[in-house]
Structure 1
């Protein structure tokens, strides 16, 4: 196992178990650290807890008492725990550094790290980069926010392997020295303010992806996003822009017919099977990282002519009686749904709704002109109904859940309609995850046959 060589702390609090916390605790214990674990929802008799006890960890479960901070030199926290948690507020008063497990992964990885972040498109871009490298006979592993614990994977990485990491703002907010060889910054828009509190905090977390880079590293960035263009001026790394509209001498770009890496033609757009202009931006970013990592044009083209999308992200499900069903359950915010709606021109029935975070949905108005009907559900159903009425959409149906929404949408659909699940909301009012919500959609669609 690769050792942690640059953690100058002996007594460490792991805050929050789950997969990343458990992995971090095991890693720290294996490296001779004194580890205290604190988790609200775990129980003393949980297998995970018992295993960590056997390894020598001190366990405190059921609450976050302030005494767990006593004598601690570092906190490794679960990314989902916000910084306004009283325990973390007190830790900051005591000047105890707070990191996430991604920082540990960065110190463990012997190969090159490709880090990918943005408000939208992370999973698609991460998958594309991974596939392009694999098709080019490169060694690669994937981890991070995509569902695999980065520190676990990093321990097994060899010098000739690439580690492709999908990185959330929650993870990036807790880094000190983390430094990807290639950083990708896809886009920035207002999101997760319930966690970060201000847009400045959110942007700062995202921009951490390049803060430790040097002129030996690369920063792939969206030249069509003015906020990003301004932010990357302070980056020390080699900048590689991408644009869906403008020719770039030192980047990846499209002229509306083909994609180029610098002056080298990579592929014609008509050969690419993944739909949506937002996905074109993801494709350009992925090509940049892949080419910088040694991918071949043949490997890149093989991926782009066959890749139809990530599950739950504008995923084509099936066609039933000439109705086309798309699962975009990962659209947990308004911008994601805007992009999904922009991917189609034919009549669309939109299925939307979920957790109410206080958002209004008026920003969707310019994007629903081709929406012939809406089926809404969850806590935001009433707000989305108001949106539909403002857009003068004739048919607006309130459904109990996603399964009911599929049934209602199919009942009012016609041949050549798109039936699109793109909720514009998180899933937690009715479903544990957006994956669970998307799986229900897929299951409901297949029961129509």
Structure 2
């Protein structure tokens, strides 16, 4: 466990940002006995009143406004929400105050870390996370799905819920301040220029994406695109067993599209071929997402039958290349 998280009783901890992640982090810290200061730029009347009252009853102190976020120098450490600007928390790092993400906080209190799957990428991570989760559910596992999308990991720890598998969508924001976070299976889907209002360059953005691999063990799985643009630059961060995927057959690739109708994955060096017949999501990128989700899920105990079943039933998410129908020979897609 991270040293700063051992015996939280009487420790003074600031939580910066009071979105879903900040709320869950604050609840968990209070449960562990920490003295919690919650900081947000929003005024109190713009925060969810029910959760504010609940946390105040438990002893949380609210310091609100932009100035409050920059005056927390007497705390033992800081937990930041994903949306907090880098210049806000870097002030504290320069003063040697430890700064971690809500993801890092929660990770340290997970008992069975061998069952964690983390998925990142510029595009497709929410869809792929849902695919992996559903494949595992169809295989009989009790699964927690959350992270950047849906329920924060801290909520699972706070509720002390018992699950078989944990499937997390992880953003670059969350990966910026990880210290020990190390999923058994880490998946990087893709990297294209994004969030350049936050990062100085695409290279810096790519670096934070590759951090998903840096704490893994050699026995863990590191899944990423074959010949990914930034691989040579950041391959030293990859500590697990490298499993590449691609559109074409390559000797080093563990998942590839055989043709428009099927894909192949390798499990224990044995090839398994699956059909795309009945797959409802449009675009080759969604076929790649399903292929990689299948590899990821199979590595974590999903059955072959689950892959054959879900391919016909997965419908994706509203407003994300959502197929609406064919009217007068015209395909209508909602990608709002």
Q: TM-score, normalising length from structure 2?
A: 0.89
1: CA distance, partners of 2:335 / 2:291: 21
Asked if 1:182 corresponds to 2:180, the answer is no
Give unpaired runs (5+ residues) of structure 1: 330-449
In the TM superposition, residue 175 of structure 1 has moved relative to its aligned partner by 1.0
Distance 1:47 1:218, change over 3 A: same
In the TM superposition, residue 81 of structure 1 has moved relative to its aligned partner by 1.1
**Which string of whole-angstrom CA distances, capped at 9 and with x for unpartnered residues, describes residues 145-189 of structure 1?**
112112102445667611100011111112111111100001111
In the TM superposition, residue 120 of structure 1 has moved relative to its aligned partner by 0.6
In the TM superposition, residue 321 of structure 1 has moved relative to its aligned partner by 4.4
- Of 282, 295, 301, the match for 1:288: 295
Query: For 1:253, what is the secondary structure of its paired residue?
Result: strand
**Contact 1:35–1:58 (Cα < 8 Å) also in 2:** yes
**Which string of whole-angstrom CA distances, capped at 9 and with x for unpartnered residues, describes residues 79-100 of structure 1?**
1111123xx2431221112111
In the TM superposition, residue 325 of structure 1 has moved relative to its aligned partner by 2.1
- Of 281, 284, 296, the match for 1:277: 284
**Which string of whole-angstrom CA distances, capped at 9 and with x for unpartnered residues, describes residues 15-70 of structure 1?**
11121111111110110111111111141683322221111112112333367413
2: CA distance, partners of 1:260 / 1:116: 20
- Of 300, 305, 319, the match for 2:312: 305
Distance 1:234 1:37, change over 3 A: closer
Structure of higher CA gyration radius: 1
Distance 1:5 1:327, change over 3 A: farther
Q: Is the deviation greater in 126-135 or in 62-71?
A: 62-71
**Contact 1:184–1:221 (Cα < 8 Å) also in 2:** yes
- Of 129, 152, 155, the match for 1:152: 155
2: CA distance, partners of 1:197 / 1:230: 17
Query: For 2:182, what is the secondary structure of its paired residue?
Result: coil
Q: Is the deviation greater in 200-209 or in 4-13?
A: 4-13
1: CA distance, partners of 2:175 / 2:5: 18
**Contact 2:28–2:157 (Cα < 8 Å) also in 1:** no
In the TM superposition, residue 272 of structure 1 has moved relative to its aligned partner by 2.9
RMSD across aligned positions (CA): 2.4
**Which string of whole-angstrom CA distances, capped at 9 and with x for unpartnered residues, describes residues 211-235 of structure 1?**
1001121111111523236533542
Asked if 1:78 corresponds to 2:85, the answer is no
Query: For 2:108, what is the secondary structure of its paired residue?
Result: helix
2: CA distance, partners of 1:327 / 1:258: 26
Distance 1:70 1:129, change over 3 A: same
- Aligned counterpart, 2:201: 198
**Contact 2:144–2:163 (Cα < 8 Å) also in 1:** no
2: CA distance, partners of 1:42 / 1:145: 24
- Aligned counterpart, 1:259: 263
Query: For 1:282, what is the secondary structure of its paired residue?
Result: helix
2: CA distance, partners of 1:314 / 1:284: 18
When the two structures are aligned, how many residues end up with a matched partner?
325
2: CA distance, partners of 1:226 / 1:201: 13
- Aligned counterpart, 1:412: none
Give unpaired runs (5+ residues) of structure 2: none
Listed as ranges, the matches of 1:211-230 within 5 Å are 211-228=214-231
Query: For 2:187, what is the secondary structure of its paired residue?
Result: strand
- Aligned counterpart, 2:109: 108
Distance 1:168 1:320, change over 3 A: same
Query: For 2:181, what is the secondary structure of its paired residue?
Result: coil
Listed as ranges, the matches of 1:55-66 within 5 Å are 55-65=58-68
**Contact 1:222–1:229 (Cα < 8 Å) also in 2:** no
2: CA distance, partners of 1:204 / 1:43: 36
